[in-house]
Structure 1
Amino acid sequence: MGISEPTYIGQVGSVSGSVVRVRLRDDLRSTLVMIAGESYRIGQIGGFLRVPLGYTHLYAVCTQIGADAAPGGVPEPPLNTPLDLDGASQLSGFRWMTIVLFGEAMGKRFERGVGQYPTVGDEVHLVTKDDLEVIYGWSQGKKGTISVGQIAGASGISADVSIPGLVSRHSAIVGSTGSGKSNLVAVLLEAASSGSFPNARIVVIDPHGEYASALGDRAYVFRVRPDTAASEKHLYVPYWALPFSELIELTLGGVQPNHEAAIRDLVLDMKVASAKLLPNPPPPETLTADSPVPFSIRQLWFDLDRFERLTFKTNSQLPADAYEPDDAGNAQLLQSAKFPAASAYNTAPYKNGKKRNLERQLDFMRIRLRDGRFSFLFEPGDYAVATTGEVNKDLDSLVREWIGHERPVSVFDVSELPSEVLPTIVGTMLRVVYDLLFWAQDLAMGGRQQPLLIVIDEAHRFVPEGSGSAAHRTLSTIAKEGRKYGTGLMLVTQRPSEVDSAVLSQCGSLIALRLTNASDRSKVGAAVPDDLGGLVDQLSSLRTGEGIFVGEVMPIPSRVRVRKAMHKPMGDDPKLPEAWQVVPRPEGKLYTKALSMWRRQTTSTEDEATKAEGDSDA
């Protein structure tokens, strides 16, 4: 071992923590080196280097090459110095490299982190295939790893991802449109649900409805209008699981603070009364208007509406002086009670002097309760509440349907949900699951005993910088506290610059695919751990399907070529140019069918009614 070895490329010039400046040897005539019949390129960004220290070998990754990598005390070469490879002395000012230490090995045993540091003059060598086998041997024969592809530039070496690092430490997958994010997520889900982890629990929030096709019978898909397939189920989110403020904003559109306080008290009274009907009623003193306890929202509307319409026989307006309604109305059918009309003069019937003037908000509430787009929320199947407060199924059944089944993945296709309430609904769904697993942490189905991974696609829609939505609050809590209670988070986004910095900073692993936007690269560079920010400069030149893996998910910072998923997500690009060259032009009658599907708010071609309409127009 020494400077006579063909792998030797230079010496340590300075050391600052894990950042090492390397002065390359002056007699290098080419950056291409042949070693044992294999070619190696010196100075590749992201390439690995080895620093031998006795029986220990330190390993580092190249983050910078050239004159800019020189230590501050080394004079820069003149601007007019020619880069003449035949004059080695003229290149002396350019022959510098910055490397970042990431691990060490003794014998065949590799460990992340370094126990000792190099000093000035220590040798620096290229990493060969044998060294790579030592570096990536950490996962061989080790339980809890999955393969997602191969290490780029090192043929035959599998890129293995640590499941504990993926689930327990949170992660983020970032990349521009078309860089391969959906394929990578599909590969990760395929590998995690392949059978090696029969008790895996993964929840996928899918805003575009693209992952159902990639997972097949490995997942149950929950959507508002499911197909007849056995793997699809109705998505119900009971309104009574929403926090009070979100429910009022969603149904009444906002009210004055004093009126909101009165409505809060009314909701609390209704929840206290309904809680007594539950099989295991909670103590009344533990309940608030935010407690996930069933109550009838139709009865709430009816009571608020009745109060606005109430008239009195005398101006004292005592309860006993109220008129009996001419029409009692119907809470379940959202029909108002009718009272004698109030006089315009100071005579009976007298209008209610304490009315809250909520007519406009109550009209909006009635329209929303009847809106078919919100039936998953206000008419949630067996989770609907009678006007008397009874409910057929409680939240335990709901969460059991969501994550307590035999399949490892639950895909929540939220593409059909109204966009204006999407963050509220997703936040409520995740809060219900997280809170139930949190309080069940000592039970066999709790998060600590059987961890849960939550995958959030289009994360910038749910945790944007400066937002205060239900999704933002829930995901912030999971990011900060979920690791301790067995709930992991994976953020997937094409706009990391729009994701909340506090949430992104909690991700112990980062998988960065091609990023072309400068602000996105800057945000990623600030989040990259281990002084590896220099690798971010590669992001704009990565090939489709390539990514830089850093952090707990893969102990060695690596450039990975991700394999193709067995079944493509629907979000893949259309097949061009075949779609314009070979596929025949669609028949005109399909536009009628498309219009019917649009009005029915379904993308399913198996809808019999849609079929009939399309056939009748043929």
Structure 2
Amino acid sequence: MPRARQPPEPGGHPNEVHRRLSEEDLDDFTELSVQADEAAMGLDPELEKAVGFTHFDNASSEDNLITVLMTREDLHRLPSQTLVRVKSLEDKRSYLGVVVRGPFSEPDAVAANSNIAVGVVVQGKKLSYTFDYHGRAELEILGEECDGKLIPPGHRPRPKSPVFLLDDEESEHVLGMTGELCLGMVVGYAHMDARIDALDKSILPRHTGIIGTTGAGKSTTVATLIHRTQSSGVATIVFDVEGEYTHVDQATDEPTMLAALTRRKQRPEGVKDLHIHHLTGRDTRNRRHKHRHAFALNFSKLSPHAIAEILEMTDAQQERFHKAYEVTKLLLEDFKIFPKTPDEQRQLLELDELSTGYPRMTLQHLLDVVSTYIYVLSSEGRAESKARAKGSSRQAQLPVEGIEEPAPEVAPSQGPQLYSEFKEHASRVLGRVHEQSSRSEVSWRALFGRLLRLRRLKIFDVGSALGVDYDSMLTPGRVSVIDLSDTDSPQINNLVIAEILRGLQERQEERYQRAQEQNRPVDPALIIIEEAHEFLSASRIAQMPVLFEQVARIAKRGRKRWLGLVFVTQLPQHLPNEVLGLLNNFIIHKMSDSTVISRMQKSMGGIDESLWNRVPRLAPGQAIASFSSFKRPLMINVDPAPVKRLLVD
């Protein structure tokens, strides 16, 4: 006959099952309790503050990873990314570590995958009873503490070493959270800001990548960074291909952003000094802004090698382009356009055409030379050349002095159509072209077509338009947005970016030299390039080595001269390793493609596996932040942007 079920205890759950202990079992438990109390009296009182203890190693243990066990009550005290101190009492060593896996919950009495454990959980609707459980977490050892310094660990903490939490102040010191520029909150801490020193030459001038898929929060991160750097007195220049940041002088009015700012006890606020720059003849998304500057590019400032690469010329077209460029240089000297003075002669000796163009050369000068080549190779040009050659030959063979042979009747030639100063002496242009002879009229016409399309853009050497105001852009605490939203052409964008990058680097070099002479620090500047994959993609780098060398030169010199670069992209797979190699700081938002993550993982050192595993699951606004001042990469919640950002479809 089945045994009758005992009634539940008063106040107990109806599904709970109780069984009285026998007198013998009760005596055993009482004796164990007394022994535990006696043993506790001899323990170090500091152990009361421990949140867990290191476990024994096993065959699957990994170097630099330690398993920590904790009670059920302490489970909540060790969230992911928490910093801890491990005191190895047996060998008197102290270590710092960080929680990289877990904490996980495991039953005390049985294995988690045992039938009884599974049964208790599955029958949750019928049974309130469950096994008591403990926590397990994996620590990554950051280093061993020695005389106030953190050194690479040569040992592992012994089993049952107590683990203690670091308070926020000590954690900030260990992680390198110093400075006034706040990026957001560190995940795993209630009150710790992710901070960097915006004016430290060893951080932002070591260049930064902001990476993530569309909708992951990159634009908010950029807007927050613009606001923070401007507040710190850094001149911030933004290449804005969509016009998103043309209203950052206004406070945000987006409801979700306002709510997030309230939770962070921050207020909406626009930047205090915004200037907008746009190409002449092109529009901006903030037409009413009082500090709006239209500019034209100076053709003579662009490297001929960069022009050939950006226009994606074929090998044949590049050969003819450089030939025409050399002839144009000779003509500028013939026409006394440049050089004119001894100083200009010396300037010519120092000219580096890999980084800049030929002084005072215009696009029209070059077009005139190319059109002259086309004329010379045309049927009309060849006929004229033969007629002149024949006339010269006859004149040389006259037998009797003083007898003139009448000139052959040849239809007057129209000659090449010239529009620059060269039109005053077309014969001189023809002479230089004949000296540097060439073939293939088809290739010259193709080159002329490319250059003509460039002129039709009306962005070079526009008489009434001013050039780029680099001094304005480099004003401390000013935000300069270069609005490229109305160009509708990656080629134009790349020409603008290449020219302005060169000009900024050149001007910052001059400012650095003056600062050195005056024994003061140079004013800092930060350049943010949106859609960086369009400017420096892997395919473009292969085709445009000169352009990459120009950027690499800026990156290397910028570290000393306080000129930082920030590359923003949602397609990091298109950025070549050469570009990633220039970056020392990263803000990585959500990426879903495992192939891309794997490639990024190989390119970026120092980010542990546990953080990479979180990248596909990051929420919008969350990111993995790795800066040269951080002791280790961190998972952060990026602060909401207090400035107004235009949404882009």
Task: Give the structure-1-normalised TM-score.
Answer: 0.70
- In structure 2, the CA distance between the partners of 1:278 and 1:444, relative to structure 1 (3 Å rule), is farther
- In structure 2, the CA distance between the partners of 1:122 and 1:276, relative to structure 1 (3 Å rule), is farther
Offset, 1:483: 1.6
1:5 matched to which residue of 2? Answer: 49
1:458 maps to a residue whose letter is E
CA contact (8 A) 1:479 1:503 kept: no
1:265 matched to which residue of 2? Answer: 326
CA contact (8 A) 2:211 2:587 kept: yes
CA contact (8 A) 2:300 2:360 kept: yes
CA distance in 1, matches of 2:312, 2:52: 72
CA contact (8 A) 1:172 1:507 kept: yes
1:331 maps to a residue whose letter is Y
1:303 has 2:369 as partner: yes
Offset, 1:537: 0.7
2:459 matched to which residue of 1? Answer: 376
CA distance in 2, matches of 1:125, 1:323: 104
Helix, strand or coil: the match of 1:453? strand
Q: How does 1:578-597 map to 2 (within 5 A)?
A: none
1:246 matched to which residue of 2? Answer: 306
CA distance in 2, matches of 1:314, 1:508: 61
CA contact (8 A) 2:230 2:479 kept: yes
- In structure 2, the CA distance between the partners of 1:126 and 1:173, relative to structure 1 (3 Å rule), is farther
Q: How does 1:216-615 map to 2 (within 5 A)?
A: 217-224=272-279, 225-226=283-284, 227-248=287-308, 253-254=313-314, 255-256=316-317, 259-270=320-331, 272=333, 273-276=336-339, 281-283=344-346, 284-287=348-351, 291-292=356-357, 293-310=359-376, 311=381, 315=386, 317-318=388-389, 325-326=413-414, 329-332=417-420, 357=441, 360-361=445-446, 363-365=448-450, 367-371=452-456, 374-379=457-462, 381-382=464-465, 398-403=469-474, 405=475, 407-417=477-487, 418-438=489-509, 441-444=512-515, 449-468=522-541, 469=544, 471-530=547-606, 532-571=608-647
Helix, strand or coil: the match of 1:467? helix
- In structure 2, the CA distance between the partners of 1:83 and 1:436, relative to structure 1 (3 Å rule), is farther
Identity %, equivalent residues: 16
1:537 maps to a residue whose letter is N
Given the alignment, which residue of 80, 83, 90 partners 1:48?
83
Query: What is the CA deviation profile of residues 226-264 of structure 1, one whole-angstrom value per residue up to 9, with x for unaligned ones?
Result: 424222211432222221133346679444565345313
CA distance in 2, matches of 1:478, 1:237: 20
1:23 has 2:60 as partner: no
Given the alignment, which residue of 218, 228, 239 partners 1:205?
239
Normalized per residue, the structure richer in helix is 2
Query: What is the CA deviation profile of residues 68-106 of structure 1, one whole-angstrom value per residue up to 9, with x for unaligned ones?
Result: xxxxxxxxx9987886797799x9xx9562414168698
Ranges in structure 1 where 5+ consecutive residues have no aligned partner: 68-76, 340-351, 384-392, 575-618
Q: How does 1:112-151 map to 2 (within 5 A)?
A: 113-114=150-151, 119-121=156-158, 128=165, 131-137=167-173, 144-151=179-186
Query: What is the CA deviation profile of residues 351-397 of structure 1, one whole-angstrom value per residue up to 9, with x for unaligned ones?
Result: x99665156236515641552xx2223527456xxxxxxxxx7xxx7
Offset, 1:513: 1.9
Helix, strand or coil: the match of 2:460? helix
CA distance in 2, matches of 1:102, 1:207: 44
Does 528-537 or 541-550 show the bigger shift? Answer: 528-537
Helix, strand or coil: the match of 1:444? helix
- In structure 2, the CA distance between the partners of 1:359 and 1:11, relative to structure 1 (3 Å rule), is closer
Offset, 1:219: 2.5
2:367 maps to a residue whose letter is W
CA distance in 2, matches of 1:439, 1:463: 26
Given the alignment, which residue of 229, 235, 245 partners 1:192?
229
1:474 maps to a residue whose letter is Q
Q: How many residues align?
A: 516
Helix, strand or coil: the match of 1:275? coil
Does 438-447 or 525-534 show the bigger shift? Answer: 438-447
Does 201-210 or 183-192 show the bigger shift? Answer: 201-210
Helix, strand or coil: the match of 2:514? coil
More contact order relative to length (CA 8 Å, sep ≥ 6)? 2
CA contact (8 A) 1:306 1:336 kept: no
- In structure 2, the CA distance between the partners of 1:288 and 1:176, relative to structure 1 (3 Å rule), is closer
CA contact (8 A) 2:81 2:99 kept: yes
- Across the aligned residues of Structure 1 and Structure 2, the Cα RMSD in angstroms comes to 4.5
Offset, 1:451: 3.3
State which structure, 1 or 2, has the greater radius of gyration over its C-alpha atoms.
2
Helix, strand or coil: the match of 1:425? helix
- In structure 2, the CA distance between the partners of 1:259 and 1:188, relative to structure 1 (3 Å rule), is closer
- In structure 2, the CA distance between the partners of 1:422 and 1:20, relative to structure 1 (3 Å rule), is same
CA contact (8 A) 2:208 2:586 kept: yes
CA contact (8 A) 1:173 1:511 kept: yes
Helix, strand or coil: the match of 1:443? helix
- In structure 2, the CA distance between the partners of 1:370 and 1:263, relative to structure 1 (3 Å rule), is closer
Task: Give the structure-2-normalised TM-score.
Answer: 0.67
1:97 has 2:138 as partner: yes
Offset, 1:191: 1.2
1:285 maps to a residue whose letter is L
CA contact (8 A) 1:253 1:361 kept: no
Offset, 1:193: 0.9
CA distance in 1, matches of 2:296, 2:610: 46
- In structure 2, the CA distance between the partners of 1:314 and 1:424, relative to structure 1 (3 Å rule), is closer
- In structure 2, the CA distance between the partners of 1:368 and 1:5, relative to structure 1 (3 Å rule), is same
- In structure 2, the CA distance between the partners of 1:502 and 1:66, relative to structure 1 (3 Å rule), is farther
1:589 matched to which residue of 2? Answer: none
Ranges in structure 2 where 5+ consecutive residues have no aligned partner: 1-43, 105-110, 122-129, 250-270, 393-409, 428-435
- In structure 2, the CA distance between the partners of 1:124 and 1:304, relative to structure 1 (3 Å rule), is same
- In structure 2, the CA distance between the partners of 1:307 and 1:140, relative to structure 1 (3 Å rule), is closer
Does 362-371 or 442-451 show the bigger shift? Answer: 442-451
CA distance in 1, matches of 2:640, 2:299: 40
Helix, strand or coil: the match of 1:189? helix
CA contact (8 A) 1:549 1:559 kept: yes
- In structure 2, the CA distance between the partners of 1:360 and 1:466, relative to structure 1 (3 Å rule), is closer
Offset, 1:204: 1.6
CA distance in 2, matches of 1:127, 1:496: 39
Query: What is the CA deviation profile of residues 429-451 of structure 1, one whole-angstrom value per residue up to 9, with x for unaligned ones?
Result: 21232244346642229997233
1:178 maps to a residue whose letter is G
1:33 has 2:71 as partner: no
- In structure 2, the CA distance between the partners of 1:490 and 1:443, relative to structure 1 (3 Å rule), is same
- In structure 2, the CA distance between the partners of 1:338 and 1:212, relative to structure 1 (3 Å rule), is same
Offset, 1:331: 0.4
- In structure 2, the CA distance between the partners of 1:532 and 1:202, relative to structure 1 (3 Å rule), is same
Offset, 1:117: 5.2
Offset, 1:289: 5.4
Offset, 1:415: 2.6
